[in-house]
Amino acid sequence: QVQLMESGGGSVQPEGSLRLSCAAPACTDHCVRVNWFRDTPGKEREGVASFYAATGATTYADSVRGRFIISRDNVRYTVYLQMNNLRPEDTGMYYCAASDRGVAEPLLPAEYTYWGQGTQVTVAS
């Protein structure tokens, strides 16, 4: 069983920054990919960023590419999402998720088995 715990959400003004953390110690031996997803008002769950454990390769949604960076702390197996130049439309609940096998579509929620409880991000003036 892979347990994931997010932290780092909060409120920020537009153009501000936040860094989300996903603690996933069991992923050291089990996870192929670790992702960030978000639920935003009026939209389906969206894959934001994906980290491929074997190579460190990353994948981003078009909506965040160039503003968000996903990375991993190898020692503690914490996956981060650095969010810069935040916009009001980035407001939502952000979830960390992991897969213990290869996936065909890295940003598709159905590919992921393990999920955290989520952390809220609010971007407003």
Q: What is the pLDDT of residues 27-52, one digit of tens each?
A: 888 899 999 999 998 999 999 999 99
Measured CA to CA, the distance from residue 112 to residue 72 in angstroms comes to 18
CB 7 within 8 A of CB 20: yes
Q: What is the pLDDT of residues 71-111, one digit of tens each?
A: 999 877 899 999 999 999 999 999 999 999 999 999 999 99
Tell me the C-alpha to C-alpha distance, in Å, between residue 76 and each of 25, 61, 100, 110: 6, 26, 18, 27
CB 109 within 8 A of CB 99: no
Among 19, 93, 26, which residue's Cα sits nearest to residue 53?
A: 26
